[in-house]
Amino acid sequence: MPELPEVEIVRQSLLKNIKGKKINKVLVRNRNLRFKLETSFEKKLKNKFILNIKRFSKYLIIELANKSFCIVHLGMSGTIHILKNKRGNLPTNTSFYNSPNLPKNHNHVEFFFKNMKLVYNDPRRFGYFQFLNNSNSLKKKFKNFGPEPFDKKFNPNYLVNYFKKKDKNIKNFLLDQNFVSGIGNIYASEILYLSKINPSLSAKYLKKNQCINIVINSRKILKNAIKKGGSTIRDFKNTRGDQGNFQKEFKVYGRDKQNCKRFSCSGKINKITQSNRSTFLCEMCQK
């Protein structure tokens, strides 16, 4: 599943390509996504101008000129492709994985603009679209989400107070969208490695300086991942033909049994399972 940096890359690509454009037509080929698309979805978006493309957590927010919104969640396998007229067989993918070109199957939703179209492809159909009538509905949608790592509210005092008497381990807290929004499995392992914190440690035992490190390193890693174009786990090139490159900087994720990259550390990377998810850590740095 794409995490905050990968969704941000999609947002930036859409911003450059469809901001200010009029949606001439919407074609739904399959309504049976994670949540079934309402029958009025096409009508609500037709002839609307796109005012802006925003993001919160792992969600894309298409802001329309009449102050309504279209929420897009990519789920496990959703990708967005931009096809421009007379373009030829060039990369179309704005996302971070799967084919760089538009696949032949599983193209469920299409947005038509002048001289181009946007196609939503999703083999597993865990992603979804949701139309929201106004900003109050948008606020209600995300009211139970925790702050993003870049938010000022995500600070050491917030962590210390939130973790009081909490037995759940810190890795699972980083994945809990009610605590912090946007961090997923890959970046949680990288954040805890950089912070020298054992992923299995109960949150209530974290000290203030460890909370400070989590805040600093969450921002550092996510900012760097965005700068590098996200993490390419499979064959992917975006619409410019570029790969995401942050996977080249993984310190622990996917490095089971390899040597720790930290200077002067002779430890090896271990792979463990937490809540049915793979976690990677250094056996010495993160005792």
Catalytic-labelled residue, pool 2, 5, 91, 100: 2
* Domains of the chain, earliest start first: 4-141 (3.20.190.10), 156-282 (1.10.8.50)
Q: Can you give the pLDDT at residue 236?
A: 40
Express each pLDDT in 201-254 by its tens digit: 999 999 999 999 999 999 999 998 888 765 544 334 454 545 544 556 789 999
Catalytic-labelled residue, pool 11, 48, 55, 58: 58
pLDDT band at 44 (very low <50, low <70, confident <90, very high): very high
Query: What is the average pLDDT score of the chain?
Result: 91
Q: Backbone phi, then psi, for 248, in 5-degree steps?
A: -70, -15
- 262 catalytic per annotation: no
Express each pLDDT in 171-212 by its tens digit: 999 999 999 999 999 999 999 999 999 999 999 999 999 999
Catalytic-labelled residue, pool 168, 220, 277, 283: 277
pLDDT band at 275 (very low <50, low <70, confident <90, very high): very high
- 124 catalytic per annotation: no
- 22 catalytic per annotation: no
Res. 160: pLDDT tops 80? yes
Of 85-99, 140-154, 173-187, 232-246, the one with minimum mean pLDDT is: 232-246
Q: Can you give the pLDDT at residue 237?
A: 46
pLDDT (mean) for 96-108 = 85
Catalytic-labelled residue, pool 3, 6, 8, 190: 3
